[in-house]
Amino acid sequence: MACESWTEKLDAYFDGELPSDDARALHEHLRGCSNCAAESVAKLQQKRGVQAAGQRFTPDAAFRARIQKSIAARKRSPWSRHWLPFFATATVAALLIAGAFLLTLQGERRSERQLMSELVDQHVATLASSNPVDIVSTDRHTVKPWFEGKIPFTFNLPELQGSGFVLIGGRVSYLSQSPGAELVFRIRQHQISVFVFQERRLGEERGNEGVRTALSFEVRTWLHNGLRYFVIGDASAQDLDKLSELLKAAG
């Protein structure tokens, strides 16, 4: 029964609607309760399924016909009989162009939302796992070589001494069926996932540079030397910015 009070808050938590104090308390509970952590992963997968289902509808070819029929049904004056067909055609053309632009824009936004959703799913799964990494080490000179031969690129890890961050380890991750690296860092009581993938392998799903918020998590992303970096966690914005700068400086 005790866990029911926590699982009832999962929807609001992932929708970013939970008060900050409650969100922090729930996050700490998920770190220590395997049952609720598993429920949170299932809830995320359910949300992704609903989002994907909602993206399958697109306006059909009858859209233009309905507009033309609606215009033709209006009462026309003698003047309008000469000019209305021209304006109707122009209006329909403008609507179709605007519609195509909006569909393209919405498609790009859906693609990016799906990308962020998949990465957040992986981050939450890492938080919920009893074995979050395959290579356990705080030494960057141990973690980096471990990825050789497992992913088709290399990357550098920053020197963390005096920064407050601790490297926990890493594992191979997949996005758009392409292998990449997931590196796990800790700052105080917060765990941060850093994903690194080849930009060209992400295709249309690659994210734009900048700051994001996805399902109550802060996200930072940028491109460097053909590699796309994603930094995801519930740590403060300042902490994510600091870790991002350390990674950028390491090159």
Give the burial class of 56: count Cβ atoms within 10 A of its Cβ; 0-12 exposed, 13-18 middle, 19 or more buried. exposed
Give me 21's structure tokens.
């104090």
Specify the amino acid at residue 25: A
pLDDT of amino acid 209 = 56
What would the two tokens of residue 64 be? 């233009």
Decide yes or no: CATH 3.40.50.300 for domain 58-251. Answer: no
Residue 100 pLDDT > 50: no
Q: Above 50 in pLDDT, residue 182?
A: yes
| 3-state SS, residue 12 | helix
pLDDT, average across residues 233-238: 91
**pLDDT, position 173:** 92
11-45 pLDDT per residue, tens: 777 666 767 677 777 767 776 776 777 777 677 66
Name the amino acid, one letter, at 219: V
The contacts of residue 165 (CB under 8 Å, 6+ apart) are 185, 186, 187, 192, 242, 243, 246
In the chain, where the domains are located: 1-55, 58-251
pLDDT digits (tens, 9 = 90+) for 132-148: 899 999 999 999 999 99
pLDDT tens profile 107-126: 444 466 777 888 888 888 88
State residue 251's pLDDT score. 75
In the block, residue with structure tokens 């918020």: 213
8 A C-beta contact, residue 38 and residue 128: yes
- Say whether 226 sits in a helix, a strand or coil: coil
Rounded to 5°, angle at Cα 198 from 197 and 200: 135
